Amino acid sequence: MIAINDPWLRLEPVRPADYEALFRTEMAWSQGSAWRFGGATIDFRSYVSSFWLNVLGACAVRRHDGSLLGMVTAYDPDHRNGTVWIMAMAVPSAQGSGLLLVGLSHLITELFHNWPFRVVLAESKAPAYAQFRSSTRRAVVEQGRLTRHLLIDGEFRDLFYLAINRETWMPVEGARYLRRQRRADADMASGDSGQRSVLITTGK
Amino acid sequence: MSGGGNFPAPILRPVAPSDTTFLYHVAANYPETWPRVCQKGVPVPHEFEALLWYQVLSQYMVDVFIAGQTVTIGLVSLYDADHVSGIVWVENVGLPGDHHEIVRCQALEQVIDRGFTSWPFRKIYGVHHSAAAPVFSGLGLDAPEEVRLREVYRHDGHLWDRVTCSVERSDWMQRSGTGS
């Protein structure tokens, strides 16, 4: 997975130096049972070894000052059937900001732009989906939901299955995010706002 | 109980290493009927056995005694159990068109019953590709479709859907007359 620039943020492949921050985020008490481990805690070594399991690409999402916003991941690629799954995780300070959705949109665009996938799929637990359901209605197709599927914070909640199709994404959203990438690349090349030097000197 | 009539009762027995030949034959010839193992195509033999047991809670070969002979007709499995949320998945695999579908359905009933009576599962899911028969067809129960991933499985020159249906514990217990 390549690094991607956006006027607001930057995606770049996760590196070992990022593991601990991501581990702390995923295992935080405040996350409760909402994240992928469902409230269970695993040791750091197991977390790291699970990190790249069946993963096509995992990108840290950062502000241009280097601060971590979260992570977006493409996993379980099925090249025969042209499908791949995505997930996102936001650090607490970025939750609800919408910035991870921007990162995720770049990831989807990348998966269609440089890979031959037809469909990008995602699972979303009901509490998280409620936060972005209305803003993604145009591009995301609900494929159904497993009702009362998961125990989250004392309640059985639905798990939604979502699909993004190449034909609907690329002409509108994909084109828009590619323009954002080009604009950010041009800004960085011209040294605008000093973002490039920040990224290089922090190594993030 | 589905079937009834004069069909022989299914015999459920442990999966032995020698069953791999039959099971790989099913995978290689009818991959569309086995989403758990063949979603990305037929696995190579050395990966097949690992996939056969991956995340399995309980699985049994299904035999039937016909005309003085024991014949293997399929496999029933409970897999991907989530004991916290009380959910598990079931599958029922065999050779389509072998005229043993009703017996395999009876085996499926037994394994669903085992799932609900031996563990506190709330729901049991079944997944099928739209190119094949639904997992719960033939059981004569209401198994609502919950998710349909459209055109995510390529088979025989077409794209097919991957469909998830479910059976609720309360419905099952009511149907089998064991209360809720």
pLDDT in tens, A5-60: 999 999 999 989 889 888 888 887 766 666 677 777 788 888 888 888 899 999 99
Identify which of A80, A145, A149 has the shortest CB distance to residue B154. A80
Chain A interface includes B89 (CB < 8 A)? no
pLDDT in tens, A185-200: 998 888 765 444 344 3
pLDDT in tens, B115-147: 999 999 999 999 999 999 999 998 888 899 999
Nearest-Cα residue of chain A relative to residue B84: A151
A118/B151 touch (CB, cutoff 8 Å), yes or no:
yes
Residue B138 gets the label, from left (phi > 0), alpha (psi -120 to 50) or beta, of left
Chain A interface includes B164 (CB < 8 A)? yes
In contact, A107 and A58? CB cutoff 8 Å: no
B41/A151 touch (CB, cutoff 8 Å), yes or no:
no
CA B149/CA A123 separation, integer angstroms: 11
Question: Which H/E stretch holds residue A5?
Answer: strand A4-5
Q: Which amino acid belongs to residue A77?
A: P
Identify which of B86, B147, B154 has the shortest CB distance to residue A146. B147
A143/B146 touch (CB, cutoff 8 Å), yes or no:
no
Checking ipTM against 0.90, whether it exceeds it is no
CA A125/CA A154 separation, integer angstroms: 14
DSSP type of residue B159: E
Provide the pLDDT for residue A194: 45
In contact, A144 and B148? CB cutoff 8 Å: yes
Dig out the tokens for B169 from the structure: 């514990």
In contact, B129 and B163? CB cutoff 8 Å: yes
Provide the pLDDT for residue B168: 95
Q: Which amino acid belongs to residue B180?
A: S
Q: Which amino acid belongs to residue A9?
A: L
In contact, B26 and B32? CB cutoff 8 Å: no
